[in-house]
A and B are shown apart, each in its own frame.
Chain A
């Protein structure tokens, strides 16, 4: 069983709508939790980095939350745009464990 589970595996939404991606982890110890966006054929781009003590971190229309007690994180995307179509990957560092990613498609 993967120590970092992301859900859903894929998601299709209409442009302008909001969505929330989930990341549950069991891996420990924990240095920080990161969310990356990866466009097809390109390297990942960092969206947020949160330490154990941080609950929320925003980057423009992207807001990540972290509940270290329940070992859950979410990435909320507001007012989606076509350019948000990508894979979103959750990473728990210390041992660098990656989730399988959520493939988001934003349709006009």
Chain B
């Protein structure tokens, strides 16, 4: 069974631009969560989607948004990029919501210049 895939793996943007990251969960998994990882703040939870609905949200500004499609694939969008948005963005999937083992993708490394 293929693992969680994320595209692109690396991305360079400039301040003010917007970016869309994609995540394909493991087949049969309906929950997708997004996380931001930085050296200073560590791992932080962005949001979780299940059956196309956002079920949980972390403490991030409205510039960070996401969605999930009927095939469980998910996208995350960051608008008006700031230098501080440079990070590794990780996606994780699980069969259902909280309590299940999550499987992480390799991440998308975003650099904002």
Contact = CB atoms under 8 A, between A and B. Distances in A.
B66 interface: no
B64 interface: no
Given A43-B90, A43-B92, A49-B99, A96 B58 contact: yes
Contact of B98 (A42, A93, A98, A100): A93
A31 B98 contact: yes
A32 B90 contact: no
A46 B101 contact: yes
B50 to A, nearest CB: 14
B104 interface: yes
A100 B40 CA distance: 9
How many chain B residues sit at the interface, stated as a range, is: 10 to 19
Contacts of B4: 43
Contacts of B42: 89, 98-101
A43 B43 contact: no
B101 A44 contact: no
Interface string A35-78: 00000001111100101000000000000000000000000000
Given A42-B106, A44-B104, A46-B103, 15 more contacts: A32-B98, A32-B99, A43-B90, A43-B104, A43-B105, A45-B104, A46-B102, A49-B101, A51-B99, A93-B99, A94-B98, A96-B56, A98-B42, A98-B43, A101-B42
